[in-house]
Amino acid sequence: MRVVGFTEFGGPEVLGVHEVPERHPGPGELRIRVRAAAVNPTDTAGRAGWFPDRYRDVEPPYVPGMDAAGVIDEIGEGTDTDLRVGDDVMAIVIPSGAHGAYSESIVLPAASVTRTPAGTGHDAASTLPMNGLTARLALDRLALPPGGLLAVTGAAGTLGGYVVQLAKADGLRVIADAKDSDRDLVASLGADEIVERGDDVATRIREIAPGGVDGVVDAAVLNDAVEAAVRDGGGIATVRGFTAEAERGIRYHAVLIRDYWLEQAKLDRLRQQVEEGALTLRVADTYPIEKGAEAHRRLEAGGTRGRLVIRF
């Protein structure tokens, strides 16, 4: 089967199409004939060599990708699932070596897979699992009560956008950041207040919430630059593993998607929320597998709103 991967770290040009052996599912597993795989910043970072330990003891090609959507074509013997061969599904993938979502087919635990939202194609469905679950996990770690005040950085991005929408569905009040060209987009996601993005966003948040917000989801990876926006005893959810010894009783929560990659019920709830209109799926553009490098190059150039998707 064909995969999009790399054999050495480097720029987008190291990505290419490779042949790897076909795999079959065992007990508790499903195989998906992949139709679409979303391209995430984690994918480009891995290709550039940010996570060398992930590839230390495995043979190339190394295949990125944490989101897949397609059709179930095989179910492992004895697997406990209500999914069937032929079902349209989406899944979260934890890449390792040649096991990544940029593949014509992929074998996954059944607990990482659920049906695609009704009326949604594979391209759009592939944008939801990893970022949607990360957003859900960040909010769960903060555990703000309904009516709580949340700030979201990077709100125009895929992760930040899901955080805004899920927070509103949870009954939270949301202050979000955006540049001028993204204000309408972020408002459409449901943000109650919008401030200008940037390294000093904490100051602008405090202008709206003088007592500080109850929590921050830092999708823009500003790290401790957002700490000043938080009230005493509040929380900050970070998405790149950042943590710090904070003052004023503030607590950092490093959000690691491995904590939720087998949470099928939560993934399926995201599906339901798309069907209910609470979550919006955004595809920026699609690429054939031969142009995976172009997709990475465009993502790294910045400014993409919605996910780029590789089609198989």
Question: Rounded CA gap, 107 and 197, in Å?
Answer: 40
Element (H or E) spanning 3, and its range?
strand 2-5
Assess whether pLDDT exceeds 90 at residue 246: no
Q: Amino acid identity, residue 14?
A: V
Q: In terms of C-beta density within 10 A (0-12 exposed, 13-18 middle, 19 or more buried), how is residue 238 classed?
A: buried
Question: Rounded CA gap, 231 and 307, in Å?
Answer: 33
Assess whether pLDDT exceeds 90 at residue 37: yes
Question: Rounded CA gap, 94 and 109, in Å?
Answer: 11
Question: Rounded CA gap, 103 and 105, in Å?
Answer: 5
Task: Give the pLDDT confidence of 189-205 residue by residue, as tens digits.
Answer: 999 999 999 999 999 99
Question: Rounded CA gap, 275 and 206, in Å?
Answer: 35
Q: What phi and psi values does residue 18 have, to the nearest 5 degrees?
A: -130, 155
Task: Give the pLDDT confidence of 14-24 residue by residue, as tens digits.
Answer: 999 999 999 99
Q: What SS3 class is residue 289?
A: helix
Describe the chain by its helix, strand, coil percentages, rounded to 5: 30, 30, 40
Question: Rounded CA gap, 305 and 77, in Å?
Answer: 41
Assess whether pLDDT exceeds 90 at residue 55: no
Element (H or E) spanning 5, and its range?
strand 2-5
Q: Specify the pLDDT at position 52.
A: 86
Token pair, residue 11, equals: 């720029």
**Mean pLDDT of the region 179-190:** 97
Question: Rounded CA gap, 283 and 65, in Å?
Answer: 16
Q: At what angle do helices 292-301 and 41-48 cross, to 10 degrees?
A: 100
Structure confidence at residue 54 as a pLDDT band (50, 70, 90)? confident
Chain centre distance of CA 207: 30
CA angle, 137 then 143 then 145, to 5°: 135
Q: Specify the pLDDT at position 207.
A: 97
Element (H or E) spanning 114, and its range?
strand 113-115
Element (H or E) spanning 67, and its range?
strand 67-75
Q: b/e per residue, 92-113, with b = 16+ CB within 10 A? A: bbbbebbbbbbbbbbbbbbbbb
Among residues of the chain, what percentage have pLDDT more than 70? 100
| Mean per-residue pLDDT over the chain, rounded | 97
Question: Rounded CA gap, 96 and 54, in Å?
Answer: 6
Question: Rounded CA gap, 66 and 299, in Å?
Answer: 15
Structure confidence at residue 51 as a pLDDT band (50, 70, 90)? confident
